[in-house]
Structure formats: C-alpha cells, structure tokens
Structure 1
Amino acid sequence: MSKTVTKVPRILIVGGGYVGLYTALRLQRRLRRDEAAITVIDPQSYMTYQPFLPEAAAGNLSPRHVVVPLRRVLRRVEVLNGRAVRIDHAARTVEFEPNAGPNREIGYDVLVMAAGSVSRTLPVPGLAEWGIGFKTVGEAIHLRNHVLQQLDTADSTTDADERRKALTFVFVGAGFAGVEAIAELEDMARDACALYPSIRPEDLRFHLVEASDRILPEVGPEMGRWALDQLRGRGVEIRLGTRLESAVDQHIRLSDGTAFDAGTLVWTAGVKPSPVVAASDLPTDGKGRVVADEYLRVAGHDDAYAAGDNAAVPDLTAPGEFCAPNAQHAVRQTKVLGDNIVARLRGKEPKPYRHAYVGSVAGLGLHMGVANVYGVKVRGVLAWFLHRTYHLSRVPTVNRKTRVMADWTLSLFFRREFVSLGGLEQPRLPFEMAANPQFEDGRLRRVS
C-alpha cells in the first residue's frame, strides 16, 4: 500500500537581514520539520550587523566578524541567493531572480516581508557619480580603503589644490549612521597621520551636513548637543539647516553658499523601503511601507506578515504612532512575528507586539559615546562602553560574539592597521593589464 505524502506549508521570508535572520531562527527552533518548510531569499549569503559598520570601517573590527553566514546558522532553512523582483500575494507566488540563471516563480503559503530598506537619495547633481553609501559591509570597507587612499594621495602630491581636495571629507546626514561614521573615520584618520610625515591632524577637513537643526535626534536634544560640541571640538565642521545642492566633478556646493572641492562624499541621509515592496500587491502607506497590524500581520491578510524597516507597525505604547525603523524594534518584533506564525500553524491565538522604546546609544570613536537609556543620560567612556556592551549582546550566535570580543581585546594591546587594500575591489586588474597587449609596464600603450 502506498504511503500518502502530506505537503507541509512553505513559509517564504523575503530578506535575510535582521528580521529575516531572526525570524528564521525563531521558526527553526520552534517548528518541527513536519510542520513547515522555511525559505529565505536574499542577494547575499550573510546578514550584516549594521551598528558595527562604523567600527569595521575604522579598522576596530574585522569585516568578517560583523556578518553572520545564513547557511551556517539556518541549518534547517533553504537559503536562496537572489532577488525577489515581484510579489503576487493573490496567487501566493514570488518571482525570484537568482544571482545566476533564469528567473522562476516560487509558491508559498505564508509570506514574511523582511526586505528592509535601501539608501534614500535625492536628485543632487554629481551624487550618483561620486557619492558613497554606508549600509553594507562592502560600502564600509570601500570607504575605509578610500579614506586611506586619500591620505596616500595627499602625502604623495606636490599640488596644493589636489592635496586640499584629498584631505577634505564630506558626510551628508547626521543620524546614527552619519554621526558614527564620521566620528570613527575622523578618529582613524587622525591616528593615521602619524604615518604620514607631511600630514598633520589639523590638515584634515571633515564636514557633516544636516538639513535639520540638530544631530542624533534619537538620543535626545541634550545628548545631541553634547555630541555636537564634542565633534566640533575635534575639528569637525558641522553645518545644520544645510543641504547638499551639487557634487559635480567633486566640487561641493551647499545651500548656505559654501563651495569647495572634496575627494570624499558619504551619503547617509535616510532610507526608504526596499523596491520589492512597491513591486507587490500588498497594501502600503504614504511612505511606501507595508501596512501591518499590532500582530505584525499585513493589513487584510492572515497569511502575510511584515516587520522592520519595510513595515509600518503601530506602536501600542504611543497610540497613533508607528514603531521607529531601528534594530531595537526589528529584533524584538521577530520574536512576536515568529511566535505568531507558529500560533497560526497550530491553530492558536496570536499576541500583539508591544515594546516601549528604551532609548539609544551611539559611539563617537574610540572611548567616546553618548547614551540615553530609560531616561538616564550618559556620555563619554561609560556611554561608549554601554554602546559596545549593548550591541555585543544583540549580535547573533556565540561564534560572532566571541570573534568581536577577540578583536576588541587585541586592540587593547596593538594599534589598528592603517593599510589601504583598494586593490581588493578590482582583483583582476593587474592580470587584465598583463594580458592586454595595449598595456605596457602597467600603462596603456599609445596606438598611432
């Protein structure tokens, strides 16, 4: 007698960031193999712990230690590398574009929208050509290499204008990403000056451009002002109420009339939901986010869920408001989201997501930070310690926690490395130059 095979429902998670990884981990731990099949779709094979990107860019952490390999931790989950380009929830299908090969449709029974966000850019002339983002580990390491290359250029040239341009760095956006990035890289560049005989720390020009009237709004006005004073005391030129108007040919023009050349332009001025949200038939709000209810279900659907940056989740602790798009909410939402999917599969009642925001911590370079936790305001070394301790507790897996701790421990005894490995971004260039008959001795041969 043949045995009847019962098809288990497929849970499809679009995105392998905070929400995708933590939700998959929760489901992997709570569901039996015969209860559901879990699939995660993401272009990368790893999750990036973004709060550690500034430290990776500054050389305090190894880039490999701020990412978590999906296949290593999600042993019972199917991981597909590629993009979800279209979602037809009415038909319960996703059009999947793998990193190689033809597109195909993937069916599902339960959908989790965890696609996250991308950089929100503006039509500023020259920004697309010269700007550097700061949302991925690749961008963080590229920025580190780029900043060190600018120091190499300045130390090697006799052209005063080129030297001034190379030593000028512009960061646009003064939220967490912008402030932590400029603080860590200014700290690194200042230390690196000891290796360059012709460059003094006061030769460096760091500009932070912010359209609003304050920095770090997440830590409150008082701590934001203190952070502003600290950065200005280190020589960072902070321009509030100012916008970037043009960056054509690396010539920076600001809305306050200031104009100068800069070899580095970093854009951290906000994020927007992943484009796949707009390429779906799910309900969205005015900001392009998937509309969710307090159970993290997509509005009007009991088989679709959303959380994190790409979701508008009501904040039950502040009626009428929505949860802020940050890691604190994203990680906590995944526990409720995962448990509610388990409850649905087992015929039980879901639970609402409720979490009162406890505050924020921010690093301002080595041994300097600000924090506002449960209304308690802390600054300096203690805040820097709280910043590291909190984020260490949030990094998934004991493996990654141990590696991060090892990096920090070694930094107590050895100075960080100031080596630019920009060649890693074009590893085949030397071979292509050798194999191309138009190149001689590393230079393009003129053809008459």
Structure 2
Amino acid sequence: MARIAIVGSGFGGYSCARHLERWLKPGEAEIVLITPKDYTLYVPLLPQVAAGVLQPRSIVTPLHVRLRDAKLLPGVAMDVDLDRRSCEVLKINGDVTHVPFDVIVLAPGSITRTFDIPGLKEHARGMKTLAEAVYLRDHSIAQLELAASSSDLAEQAVRCGFLVVGGGYSGVETAATLQLVTRSALARFPDLDPGLLRWTLIDIAPRLMPELGEQLGADAMRVLTKRGIDVRLGVTLESLTAGSAKLTDGATLPTNTVIWTAGVTPRPVVSSLGTETLKGRLVVGADLQVPGHDGVFGLGDAAAVPDLTGPPGSVCGQTAQHAERQAATAARNALAALRGGRMRYYRHRDLGMVVDLGGMDAVARPFGMDLSGPVAQLVTRGYHLLTAPSGRSRFRISGDWLMNLAAGDDLMRLDFLKDSPSTLEELENMPTRMTGRYEQISQTVGHRQ
C-alpha cells in the first residue's frame, strides 16, 4: 500500500489529512500524520486565551476524534531524505524512527522569528503556542499581585510595565486584549496606583498592520491610544534585561514583561531538504510541488507559494486562510501524484482579514470593505466561528464568549508553567526540549544549512 506522510497538524496539515480521508479509495494509501501534538490549534484566538476570554481547550480540536483513518506519529520531523524518500522523526519519548513515503506533504508551520538582540532569548515571551498564551495570562496577573504586595515604587513600575514588540495582527491583538484585562484588574488592587500601569507597543514599520490599509491601521491606532497604550512606530528593541528594555530611539522602559511577536520563520525541517528556499520558506510551484521532486509538496507558513492573483513574483502570505485553502489543493495533487493525474494550481480569492481589539472594538476588511467598531467585532467573531476547525470548537468558543459577557473575568492564575523558564525557546520547542536532544538537533540542522 502506498504511504502519504503529512508533517504538521496545523491548519495546513490537519486540513490536508481531512481531505485525503474523504477522497482516498479504500485501501489505496495509508496516511501518516507526523506531529508532536494530538490536537490542531486555532491560533488566531490565542490572544483571547491569554486574556481569559476563552478557555484553552476551546480553541483546540483533538486529532483522535476528528481523524478516522490517519495514523498519528507523535514526534517532530527532523530530516527529509528526498533520495531515499524517508523522513526522520524524533518521537516525543526520545526514540528516533524513519518513515518511508511515496508522497509527502510538508506543513510543519513556523516558530517565532528572533534576532540577535542581547537578552531577547532569555527574557522575552512569545504568543505562538497554547502554552505561551496560558503562561502570559498567569504571568500578567502575577505581576499585578506582586506589585500590589510591594511598597517599592521602582519594583511596582517594573511589574506594571508591559511591552509588546511587533505591530502586526498578533502584536496588536495581544496588546489590546491583555491591556483591557490588566486595566480592569486594577479594581481588585485598590492600594496600587492605576497610573503605574503602562502598556507600550512598538514596531519598526511606519504603520500598524499595513496589510489592512492606511484607514484601518489608523482606526486601530486610535482605539489603542484612546485606551492609554503607548504606540511607537519606527522603533524596535535594542537590548533586554530582567527589569528593563532599551529601545532603538534611546528610551529605556522599566518592564518585567516583553512579548515578542515580530514575525515568524519556518521550522528547521524545511532546510533539511536541501532544495531552494526563500527567506527560509520552501520554494514550491503553483501546484505546491517542490520543483524537480515529484510527490513532495509544501504549504502554509513553511512554503513560498506563488500568488497567482497578485503581482508577478509575489508569494502568498503566512496566514491561516492560505494554509487551510492550500491544503485542499495539496490533497488533490497528492492523489494526482499517486494516480498519475493532472496537477492543479493554487489560486485564491482573498476573504479579507479581521482583528479583534477586545471589548466591542475591532477592525475588519471582509471582501474589501473597511469596517470598525461593534460591526467589525460582529464580523470578526462570525468569521472565527465559521473558520474554527470543528463544531465542538464553535460551541465552546460561543459558550465562553457568552460566559465572559455575563460573568466577567475570574482573574486567577492556573500556574501550570510556574516551574518552567517559559522563554521563547523553551515553550516553542517543548517537544524536543523534553527529550534532551534539542541542542544536538539544532547543530545537525545548522550543519546542513
């Protein structure tokens, strides 16, 4: 029996597996899904988990429930040997196994992109995984509790200072939603001066979320500044210590919380193929196939897919919308590779983007229409309900929204990660960290690069 290996269980990998299960004939091929997690995560709503609006399990869909025939291999794909048609996998228990394949679909997703900024890896936090969202909520509440219990004004200033680096969708939503939580939480700490609470959002770009256009970017800026968030553009992080952040404009901010959302980069397995990459992304054709390698496909954040509806030479953005829709094309072409059929090209019609700013505020551009305020919030939440990966998720998300509206925030820490360093490297590479082989793997990948 032929074997189709799928790397990754995000929007692309999960959707591809679902399509293949529907379209494969009985006994035609075996599907092996290689992923360290047994769920698919609805990443766009991570800021709402951090804000306590949604429960963590509401935005995950269990693979064992949703996939009928695909076999799950719990591990991280580390190396793809195109000559031998084999994928090396580091299982979550530390064992190494090799998965031979006839067709492989690479959708490993991405991790937070970092730069060589002093102190960044040691002190910054991310917003890319469920663990990071849960940690940030606990951490933010803990900072207010510790500030309220201290009589040292300098310590209070450090603990009440929050910095978000990155003015894209993730950074703006994170700053907007968490600022609302911490601002409302101040009512629980009457001895703490509300003027000490300071949220700062910085980005090197001249505008917030330039993909949404000048008008909606300006609307988002107005909402943030009206709430008291200090938005600084044309500025980024120069260095970071345990209690302060130095910016490139010369300012030094007292803070114990720096949230880094300044872009993403593909996971290391992409570089193991030895084929052409574009800014770290696997170069593929419009049929999602790696040129010169039949039956090897890439999609989502990890692949540079030609945008046939955009300017010549442009590639599709690293969005959930693209990954999910590319998955259908990848599944059809994987079947064509097995059956000797005709490949299809990936074309898309942009459905627009939505940005939840918390409360009744949002900005959205559905089908090219600029919306802001409560109407945009209605569209934003409707979009998330439509695109959540399962009916179970939609039901739980709706219930959480109603519960939060009726009962407000519980404002408590879960402390699941209180004994973890919870750095970017720790939480985003948790599966390989658990095996104790992360450094060895990194060196191997680095050697191949």
1:311 to 285, 303, 306: 303
Query: 2:284 is aligned with what amino acid?
Result: A
Q: 1:293 & 1:28 partners in 2: Cα distance?
A: 24
Contact 2:103 2:338 in 1 (8 A): no
Q: 1:263 & 1:316 partners in 2: Cα distance?
A: 45
Contact 1:94 1:105 in 2 (8 A): yes
Give the superposed CA RMSD.
1.4
Contact 1:127 1:247 in 2 (8 A): yes
Q: Percent identity?
A: 39
Q: 1:65 & 1:272 partners in 2: Cα distance?
A: 26
**1:276-319 Cα shifts (integer Å, max 9, x gaps):** 111223x2323111111111111222211111000011111113
**Any stretches of 5+ residues in structure 2 without a counterpart?**
421-449
Q: 1:140 & 1:223 partners in 2: Cα distance?
A: 26
Contact 1:148 1:418 in 2 (8 A): yes
196-205 or 411-420, larger mean C-alpha shift: 196-205
Match of 1:295? 287
Q: Post-superposition shift, 1:423?
A: 5.0
Contact 1:126 1:250 in 2 (8 A): no
Match of 2:436? none
1:350 to 343, 353, 357: 343
Match of 2:158? 165
- Give the length in aligned residue pairs: 419
2:67 is the alignment partner of 1:67: no
Contact 1:169 1:207 in 2 (8 A): yes
Contact 1:130 1:250 in 2 (8 A): no
Query: 1:120 is aligned with what amino acid?
Result: R
Query: TM-score, normalized by length of structure 1?
Result: 0.91
**1:358-412 Cα shifts (integer Å, max 9, x gaps):** 3211011121100122221100111111111111111111111111111112223
Query: 1:384 is aligned with what amino acid?
Result: Q
Q: 1:137 & 1:262 partners in 2: Cα distance?
A: 23
Q: 2:38 & 2:419 partners in 1: Cα distance?
A: 21
Contact 1:59 1:416 in 2 (8 A): yes
Q: 2:235 & 2:336 partners in 1: Cα distance?
A: 49
Q: 1:133 & 1:65 partners in 2: Cα distance?
A: 20
Q: Which residues of 2 match residues 136-155 of structure 1 at below 5 A?
A: 136-155=129-148
Match of 2:235? 242
Match of 2:125? 132
Match of 2:276? 284
Contact 1:170 1:265 in 2 (8 A): yes
Query: 2:218 is aligned with what amino acid?
Result: R
Distance 1:201 1:388, change over 3 A: farther
SS for the counterpart of 1:316 is: coil
Q: 1:269 & 1:160 partners in 2: Cα distance?
A: 31
Match of 1:80? 73
Query: 2:290 is aligned with what amino acid?
Result: V
Distance 1:144 1:405, change over 3 A: same
2:16 to 5, 23, 37: 23
Distance 1:261 1:412, change over 3 A: closer
Contact 2:77 2:88 in 1 (8 A): yes
Contact 2:7 2:108 in 1 (8 A): yes
1:386 to 379, 383, 386: 379
SS for the counterpart of 1:343 is: helix
> Higher RCO, 1 or 2 (CA under 8 Å, sep at least 6)?
2
Query: 1:289 is aligned with what amino acid?
Result: R
Match of 1:264? 257
SS for the counterpart of 1:422 is: coil
Q: Post-superposition shift, 1:142?
A: 0.1
Q: Post-superposition shift, 1:201?
A: 4.2
244-253 or 91-100, larger mean C-alpha shift: 244-253
Q: 1:101 & 1:123 partners in 2: Cα distance?
A: 29
2:174 is the alignment partner of 1:178: no
Match of 2:185? 192
Contact 1:220 1:372 in 2 (8 A): no
Q: Post-superposition shift, 1:11?
A: 0.4
Match of 1:251? 244
1:415 to 408, 413, 419: 408
SS for the counterpart of 1:413 is: helix
Match of 1:338? 331
**1:115-149 Cα shifts (integer Å, max 9, x gaps):** 11111101111111110011001000100000000
